[in-house]
Amino acid sequence: MTKSPSPEERGLSRAQWMITLRIALVMSVIMLLIEALVYFVVLFAQRADTERETQWGIDHNTIYSPPVCVFMTVEHNGQISSTPGTPPGLPVLSSLAAVRNGGAPILEEVERDGENYTVRTARRGDEIVQAAYGERFHDADRAHLLLAFGIAELVGLLLVAVASGRLARRAMTPMSDALARQRRFVADASHELRTPLTQLHTRAQLLARRADAAASPELTADLQRLVTSTRQLGGVIDDLLLSAQLSRSPGPRDPVDLAALAEEAVAAEDARAQAARVTVRVRRGKGKHQVVGIEPALRRVLAALVDNAMGHTPPGGEIVVSVDNRSPGIVRLTVRDTGIGFPPEEAERIFERFARGTSGQGRRFGLGLALVREVIESHDGRITATGEPGQGAVFTVELPSARVAEPIPRQRTTMSSAR
């Protein structure tokens, strides 16, 4: 089965794409600015050329010797003569009449039969002269220039995207290597710590049992705290190992009965629930509740969610773990408690690693709900949390059923992991 990327890997991938996109965008804007500058320079040059040619025609040419692309018209003693082949609609008679009646020289742009012309009309001695410059070739040049700019922009953007992608990948390589080395270190260190920690926990248990009868109550209490601390530290080591294993090698995926895991998690907390005077029960919906996943990892998810609810539910409260198939192809697990809830200002700190809340008696260290989210997302699922101060909280996990392998889109959650 294809390995699901970790949140850190997804973050690096997003950063790489953002670097590539921004470099490509900046280069594209720079190219557009250069192309716009070139276009306006060409446009200015064409305009200057047009005015120069029409002025030269007014000053020096006749209807039989016009400049290139210029059509000449001369009015002398009321007679109007034009260059052979002058397009229909030329000359501009209104401009001839205006200059004839003593008006100032006129420079204008007109359109005739879909063609653009720059027309200059002025008096030359006792004649009224009009020079009409056809813009056909200038229009064609500008169209070809825009086409060339468009092709250059696309090709340049493609080349810049490829080059920036490689540069971004090369820039991210040290970070990826550092992340890989960090994971190897965590996995190796956790593995090496596991055996001596297990031995320490066992010896602490034996010592606590031997001291029950002979030692003072204070010493017995201290030994029990030592046993509890070593057990909690062992849980942290297990979390670190699981996180490292999910990042490096998720392992085989098999059908897992999520409802059965929920019942196991609740049964494991039975003694603790009785001591805390908290009711913990399972509500199992109709049908099968099988998902495809890693059973130890999903068991850890159930344990962490129930542990979190236990730590934030006061005596007399209730915790309900529900499993159902309300949506087609999705198995949904909810852990609802009647605990103290959480303040709204902690909503942005949801599922942070080693996050500390401001209330509750649950675990205040470890990976906790951060690992829960990592496990759920590695199983193509999602987890959300909702709650209000004094009104408890609800954690909702959605996973594809064993018959559906489609990933579930991730949604933004609204509650802090540590509460």
- Is residue 15 scored above 70 in pLDDT? yes
Name the CATH superfamily for 252-400.
Histidine kinase-like ATPase, C-terminal domain (3.30.565.10)
Query: What region, left, alpha or beta, does residue 85 occupy, with left being phi > 0 and alpha being psi -120 to 50 degrees?
Result: left
Burial class, 19, CB count within 10 angstroms (exposed 0-12 / middle 13-18 / buried 19+): middle
- Looking only at the bridges linking them, the beta strands covering 79-82 and 70-76 are antiparallel
Q: Looking at domain 61-134, which of 3.30.70, 3.40.1840, 3.30.450, 3.40.50 is its CATH number?
A: 3.40.1840
Q: Where are the domains of the chain?
A: 61-134, 252-400
Predicted confidence at residue 241, as pLDDT, reads 63
pLDDT of residue 389: 85
| Whole-number pLDDT of residue 1 | 42
Q: What is the pLDDT of residue 365?
A: 36
* pLDDT attached to residue 362: 46
Confidence bin at 366 (pLDDT 50/70/90): very low
- Written as six digits, the tokens of 77 are 């003693």
Identify the pLDDT of residue 272.
Answer: 83
Asked if the model's pLDDT at residue 118 lies above 80, the reply is yes
Is the pLDDT at 65 greater than 50? The verdict is: yes
Tell me the pLDDT band of 239, cut-offs 50, 70 and 90.
Answer: low
Element at 154 (helix H, strand E): helix 136-214
258: pLDDT strictly greater than 80: yes
| pLDDT of 406 over the 70 cut | no
Q: Could you give the percent of the chain with pLDDT greater than 70?
A: 77
Q: Provide the edge-to-edge strand list for the sheet that holds 106-112.
A: 79-82, 70-76, 127-134, 115-124, 106-112
Q: What pLDDT digit, counting tens, does each position of 73-100 carry?
A: 999 988 999 999 999 999 999 999 999 9
What's the mean pLDDT in 306-315? 88
Q: What confidence score (pLDDT) does residue 388 get? A: 83
The reported pLDDT for the residue numbered 130 is 94
Q: What percent of the chain has pLDDT over 90?
A: 31
Please tell me the number of Cα atoms within 13 Å of 77 on its side-chain side.
Answer: 0
Q: What is the pLDDT of residues 383-395, one digit of tens each?
A: 888 888 888 888 9
